[in-house]
Amino acid sequence: MPDPAHPYFMGVDVFYVATLFFTVAVLAMGAVVYLAYTVRDPMVKRVKQLNERREQLKAGIVAPVKKSRAKLVSQNDTTDRMKSILSSLQVLQDTQIKDTQAKLAQAGIRSKDTAYTVIFLRMVMPIVIGGGVAFVIYGLGGLADWVAWKRAAVAGVAPLQVLQLTLVEGVDV
């Protein structure tokens, strides 16, 4: 039975939720202050690397270039895979790609491959989200709670009374 000294909303102690929100806000402020005071200039490291490389080139030492481009290659592989899937399904149109690239350019994203990613996600995300919703409704029985609320609304029972009857007393409305 809930404690009458504390206000409850939908079976949850309001003070407990407010305390959690306040804790998250304090931690976020602490993180912001920490990040503001520990910011580093990224160009210092880059200038040092360029000076070292320049000295190596002057000395005639040919050092192998780091594998910093491996991430770009893997991104290109992923994008190429998306392109091949889209082209095999015959859903790519030049006007669609150009329109998407123009909208991304307005948003400040100049990469040509990002348009293919956006088009691919436009195709895949409704399937993923719809599948998740179908799983929650049919697999986990997520619609059963809404049926009880609808029956209670038709019967004229207040929503908080439905919550109290279902959660606290275990009565099916």
Q: Directed axis angle between helix 113-134 and helix 94-106, to 10°?
A: 100
Residues 142-159 have pLDDT tens digits of 776 666 666 666 667 666
Widest CA span in the chain: 88
The alpha carbon of 15 is separated from its chain's Cα centroid by a whole number of angstroms, namely 29
Tens digits of residue pLDDT in 59-90: 887 655 555 555 555 667 888 888 888 888 88
Average pLDDT, the chain: 80
Question: Domain boundaries in the chain?
Answer: 1-59, 77-140, 142-173
CA distance 33 to 27: 10
Amino acid making up residue 11: G
pTM of the model: 0.44
